[in-house]
Amino acid sequence: MTTRQDAEALDARDPLAPLRTQFSLPEGVIYLDGNSLGVLPAAAAARVSRAVQQEWGEGLIRSWNSAGWVTLPQRVGDKIGRLIGARPGETLAGESTSVNLYKVLAAAILLVKQQGDAARRVIVSERSNFPTDLYIAEGLARQHGFDLQLAEPDQIAAHCNAKLAVLMLTHVNYRTGRMHDMAALTHAARACGALTIWDLAHSAGAVPVDLNGADADFAIGCGYKYLNGGPGAPAFLWVNARHLRTMEREDLWQPLSGWFGHAAPFDFTPHYRPASGITRFACGTPPVLGLTALETGVDTVLAAEPLGGIAALRRKSLALTSLFITLVEERCGGHGLAVVTPRIESERGSQVNLARAEGGCAIVQALTARGVIGDFRAPDILRFGFTPLYTSFTEVWDAVEHLRQVLESGEWRQARFNQKAAVT
């Protein structure tokens, strides 16, 4: 049996332990929900306050130039790019994941249509992909007369055929914690002439991603999870440079043709002319406060670079999730919990999801009342995220001990834990 002392020993020799001091963690909380909302970087409060009081309050309109507001989407985008295998100038921060997916999926559809093969009209995704991705794809399929097909994870490769236009997947699944083989699936899609879109919501800042290495086509991702960008933080998008060149040559526009994606937005000319490079995927005025907070969050991940970067974060992440799985099995048996997340490390993201036929929401609420914060995903998933930047091995041990006590005491059966949480 694994003891709390074993966990403490792992913390004592954890080379990434000093990174935790970058964060303001509330007292008495074990936070296993960084995959939903990352914790507050200690630097963010002062940095956002400076943006509000000095840049906005004092600099006012002048700060568009003097404080660099106008290039925030590119600057923050390039920082994120370092975490996902992008070259400079390929990544743009801004808007929401949903809006960014709309842009890149619409662009992919245009690129496919432009090839002139009318039989290639299928978008394939995973049935348990995060719903907003499916909703956006459903809307675009409706608009463009494409067919959205939802597959089980093991059947995706079988959908790679001459009808496949776009393979749209989330790299790490939000319900199962399962990670796809990006290189292999991208290769399979490409081999049959299709494009790929990768949603990196649960990947960027948590697991190694190499978009150019995989020769992927498009990617999007979320700023408020492992990038610690704050609630509703701006998202990001990445486009393979070859598509940017094709779009320029063929005069293809992404649909949200707003002024920040214009070649000369401050010339105020009446006709749209897309900017070159990734900027053609920009749309509205950048959300300065959100991008500022996001930059401090991304910086907390980049701070791991001298300690081994994403590879080191990945090693610790796997150690954390493996410890959690081991402890749940050792200490919480007989309570109907099933580990949904793959045991095979190469198929695992940075979370562990447990399924339970009933009571999942109430168990998560009972844990929250004890200060152990995970989340519940209807209808039956208890989800625990492990953020190697700030989660300790001892916290993992303590969290499982709380879970054990909640299950054994039956306290989750109390009425106050049995209403459905609106959002957790």
- Of residues 308 through 367, those in contact with its own copies by CB under 8 A are none
- Decide if residue 250 touches its own copies (CB under 8 A): no
CA-to-CA dists, residue 363 to 26, 284, 295, 346, 390, angstroms: 21, 42, 35, 29, 24
CA distance linking residue 13 with residue 166, whole number of Å? 45
Binding mask of the shown chain, residues 69 to 98, with x at each position contacting its own copies by CB under 8 A: xx------------------------xxxx
Please pick, among 31, 178, 383, 390, the residue that the annotation labels catalytic. 383
- Minimum CB separation of residue 47 from its own copies in Å reads 9
CA-to-CA dists, residue 315 to 1, 34, 56, 303, angstroms: 22, 17, 41, 16
Applying CB under 8 A, what is the total number of residues that bind its own copies? Answer: 91
- Minimum CB separation of residue 365 from its own copies in Å reads 11
Token readout for 273 is 């002319």
* 79 tagged catalytic: no
Q: Yes or no: say if 420 and 375 are a contact pair by the CB < 8 Å rule.
A: no
Judged by CB, which is closer to its own copies: 1, or 61? 61
Q: Which of the stretches 10-18, 133-141, 299-307, 350-358 binds its own copies when contact is defined by CB under 8 A?
A: 133-141
- Decide if residue 151 touches its own copies (CB under 8 A): no
- Decide if residue 139 touches its own copies (CB under 8 A): yes
Judged by CB, which is closer to its own copies: 146, or 186? 146
Binding residue for its own copies (CB under 8 A) from 151, 157, 241, 256?
256
CA distance linking residue 424 with residue 421, whole number of Å? 6
CA distance linking residue 133 with residue 99, whole number of Å? 10
- Decide if residue 226 touches its own copies (CB under 8 A): no
Helix (H, G, I), strand (E, B) or coil at 305: helix
Please pick, among 199, 217, 299, 380, the residue that the annotation labels catalytic. 199
Tokens 């000093």, residue?
18
CA distance linking residue 190 with residue 166, whole number of Å? 10
**Residue 237 amino acid letter:** L
CA angle 422, 395, 9 (to 5 degrees): 165
Which of 355, 391, 350, 23 has the alpha carbon at shortest distance from 202? 350
- Decide if residue 199 touches its own copies (CB under 8 A): no
- Decide if residue 134 touches its own copies (CB under 8 A): yes
Residues ≥6 apart with Cβ < 8 Å to 297: 38, 41, 44, 223, 227, 228, 229, 230, 233
Q: Which of the stretches 59-67, 84-92, 206-214, 318-326 binds its own copies when contact is defined by CB under 8 A?
A: 59-67
* 199 tagged catalytic: yes
Judged by CB, which is closer to its own copies: 3, or 266? 266
- Minimum CB separation of residue 336 from its own copies in Å reads 21
Please pick, among 146, 224, 324, 390, the residue that the annotation labels catalytic. 224
19-36 per-residue burial string, b: 16 or more CB within 10 A, e: under 16 = bbebbebeeeebbbbbbb
- Decide if residue 263 touches its own copies (CB under 8 A): no
Judged by CB, which is closer to its own copies: 75, or 272? 272
Site for its own copies in 38-57 (CB under 8 A): 39-40, 44-45, 48-49, 51-53, 55-57
- Decide if residue 284 touches its own copies (CB under 8 A): yes
- Decide if residue 255 touches its own copies (CB under 8 A): yes
Q: Which of the stretches 5-13, 185-193, 236-244, 283-291 binds its own copies when contact is defined by CB under 8 A?
A: 283-291
Binding residue for its own copies (CB under 8 A) from 151, 289, 307, 339?
289
- Minimum CB separation of residue 424 from its own copies in Å reads 6
* 224 tagged catalytic: yes
- Decide if residue 384 touches its own copies (CB under 8 A): no
Token readout for 142 is 């409706």
* 135 tagged catalytic: no
CA-to-CA dists, residue 149 to 14, 126, 129, 169, angstroms: 44, 8, 12, 12
Token readout for 71 is 């290039």
* 23 tagged catalytic: no
- Decide if residue 266 touches its own copies (CB under 8 A): yes
Site for its own copies in 393-422 (CB under 8 A): 421-422
CA distance linking residue 238 with residue 87, whole number of Å? 10
- Minimum CB separation of residue 18 from its own copies in Å reads 20
Binding residue for its own copies (CB under 8 A) from 293, 340, 366, 367?
293
Judged by CB, which is closer to its own copies: 182, or 291? 291
- Phi and psi at residue 10, to the nearest 5°: -65, -40
Strand ranges for 102-163 from DSSP E: 122-126, 147-151
| Residues belonging to the active site | 130, 199, 224-225, 383
